[in-house]
A and B are shown apart, each in its own frame.
Chain A
Amino acid sequence: MKKDQYILGIETSCDETAASIVKNGHEIISNVVSSQIESHKRFGGVVPEVASRHHVEQITIVIEEALNQANMTPKDLDAVAVTEGPGLVGALLIGINAAKAFAFANGLPLVGVHHIAGHIYANALVQPMEFPLLALVVSGGHTELVLMKEDGQFELIGETRDDAAGEAYDKVARVLNLPYPGGPHIDRLANESDGAVPFPRAWLEEGSYDFSFSGLKSAVINYQHNAEQRGEEINPNHLAAGFQQSVIEVLTTKTLRAAREFNVKQVIAAGGVAANKGLRKVLEETFEKENIPFYVPPISLCTDNAAMIAAAGNSKFSAGKTGDMSMNGRPGLELNSWN
């Protein structure tokens, strides 16, 4: 029988300091997330330097808590996996240097994990991944369609050409004067709405799986601006619903088309925006009709966490791909296959 494999995951790519221990790539033993959101709220967004300062204050506390909750010591671990990129470079460096020092002191192998691979592997913590698999990754920094023909293989088939979906959400939230982070507020306003402003859909050229949200964002801003000039009150529910419908329709339609073209066995959603209730509902309905299994992890595993890094790290470590003490933060890291 194969020995159980325990991976310590560490994630500090943005504004969450997180550590987690995952067994065999799918069983969460402990999962600790220290969020800085309260600190960044006053600035209306994540301030990189402030984020880095918080990470260095929290990092060892969070790792210790992950070990304590798991009732484990470093000797029980098989490897340390850490987010290598993409993300805020100063923030990444805290997790990476803590991971290196920890791995070095305890004689453990080190595995660098791509943040998006992490988001995708969050699904492995919920149910086994089956290939070929299509992942829709939507977050504040990403909007991507990734095809996985096998474990550890990634093919980027579509990505945003301008704003990420989550970025568009934040900008529209600012138009509506909603508190940061605005995504959940727009989701709520849209779900309570009895109407919707018709906004355009950006399909791009035929057959493309790419996305674009800057036109939609401008349309929302213009709409608000014109209403203001005419002295009219805008209905925030209608505006939020119109915006959200446009985003969801484009994401769902393109995901469905790709799922059909590549004949996938599973469709999964990942990333912070996958926590959006409106998006989840439409995706679930669409793929139920299509008879393709669709999964989205619980909200706590959609937003940034270290269990997903440990899960992806487990696969990469099993493939024999380890890093060394010269590992650096790579803000623009590409999603490469490890199998």
Chain B
Amino acid sequence: MIWLGIDTSHTPLAVSIVKDDQVLAEYKSSLKITHSIGAMPAIEELLKKAEIEPHEIDAIAVAKGPGSYTGVRIGVTIGKTLAWTLNIPIVSVSSLQVLAGNAPYFPGIVCSIMDARRSNVFAGVYENGQVVKESHMSLVDLLKMLDESGNPVLFVGMDVKIHWEQIKEVLRDKVHQANAAFSLPSAAVLIELAKEQKATEAHTTVPKYLRVTEAEANWMKEQKKNGHE
């Protein structure tokens, strides 16, 4: 059973090939290279090195978001197109869960975040491997929620350092920061998580943005104001 995993949901690029229970090859970077330029060449190169032909792939795992809208779409588009044309299953996994998957043995809450600008974050909160919350929220609200739980918290993600001061101020000695080696998503982790989840149909596999577009938000507000819901 050969899995190809792809995560382009944020600045980092992660690609991995897992055969049965062995990671054959993995690519991981946080270089600011557009995913449209970097992702397919990385997939092509890894498969070539592993001497695997595209039609030998048995399943695709893809990070479905949240993250950068364009980034998420590139990975999902590549993933669903490969799955559809190769006629193989695709499993899409939350990008926040992939990040949190870097810290499976932490006794407490694992919180993965991606910066979403204007003091907001995409945040995933996990306890004992279970999803507690995955949402787009203000950092203030997130920290309040974590503080009230009283449990130790491990923060994961390359954007943690942007907000670390504020995080530390609220959570104090209850909070830890995953080190650099665990800050980037791993597509091997993505594949391991995908093995536990249900496959979707390639055509209906779409990103999970966790946010409506600004235009749609405004439009819905208008509709409400005008009285037709």
Asked if A53 is at the interface of the complex by the 8 Å CB criterion, the answer is yes
B45 CB → nearest A CB, Å: 9
From known contacts A52-B73, A56-B207, A326-B40, infer whether A42 and B78 are also in contact, taking CB-CB under 8 Å. Answer: no
A26 to B37, CA, bound (A): 31
Contact (Cβ within 8 A) A43 B73: no
Interface positions of B from 181 to 229, Cβ below 8 Å from A: 202-203, 206-207, 209, 213-216, 219
Once the chains are docked, how many angstroms separate the CA of A333 from the CA of B130?
A: 47
CB distance from A72 to the nearest CB of B (A): 13
Interface size, chain B (Cβ < 8 Å): 34
The reply on B121 being an interface residue by CB < 8 A is no
Question: B213: which of A47, A63, A97, A327 is its contact (CB, 8 Å)?
Answer: A47
Residues of A within 8 A of B207 (CB): 53, 56
Q: Is the interface of A mostly helix, strand, loop or mixed?
A: helix
How many angstroms from the CA of A64 to the CA of B207 in the assembled complex? 20
- Please, how many angstroms separate the alpha-carbon atoms of A45 and B216 in the complex? 13
Q: Does the CB pair B40–A100 fall under 8 Å?
A: yes
Q: Please, how many angstroms separate the alpha-carbon atoms of A49 and B217 in the complex?
A: 12
User: What is the bound-complex CA distance between A102 and B214, given in angstroms?
Assistant: 32
Contact B81 A328 (CB under 8 A): no
Choose, from A88-96, A142-150, A175-183, the stretch at the interface: A88-96
Contact A56 B219 (CB under 8 A): no
Give the distance in Å from the alpha carbon of A127 to the alpha carbon of B2 in the complex: 49
Nearest CB on B from A9, distance (A): 15
B69: Cβ under 8 A from any A Cβ: yes
> A50 in the interface, Cβ–Cβ < 8 Å?
yes
Q: Which residues of chain A are within 8 angstroms of B54 by Cβ–Cβ distance?
A: 104-107
A105-B82, A326-B41 are contacts. A49–B219 as well, Cβ < 8 Å? no
Contact A326 B37 (CB under 8 A): yes
Q: Specify which chain B residues have a CB less than 8 angstroms from the CB of A76 in the assembled complex.
A: none
- A-B contacts, 26 listed (Cβ < 8 Å): A43-B219, A49-B69, A49-B215, A53-B73, A53-B206, A53-B213, A56-B77, A56-B206, A60-B84, A64-B84, A64-B203, A90-B69, A93-B77, A94-B77, A96-B36, A97-B74, A98-B77, A101-B81, A102-B85, A105-B82, A106-B85, A325-B40, A325-B44, A326-B38, A328-B34, A328-B36
Binding site for B on A (CB under 8 A): 42-43, 47, 49-50, 52-53, 56-57, 59-61, 63-64, 74, 89-90, 93-94, 96-98, 100-102, 104-107, 324-329
Residue positions of B touching A, CB distance < 8 A: 34, 36-41, 43-44, 54-55, 69-70, 73-74, 76-78, 80-82, 84-86, 202-203, 206-207, 209, 213-216, 219
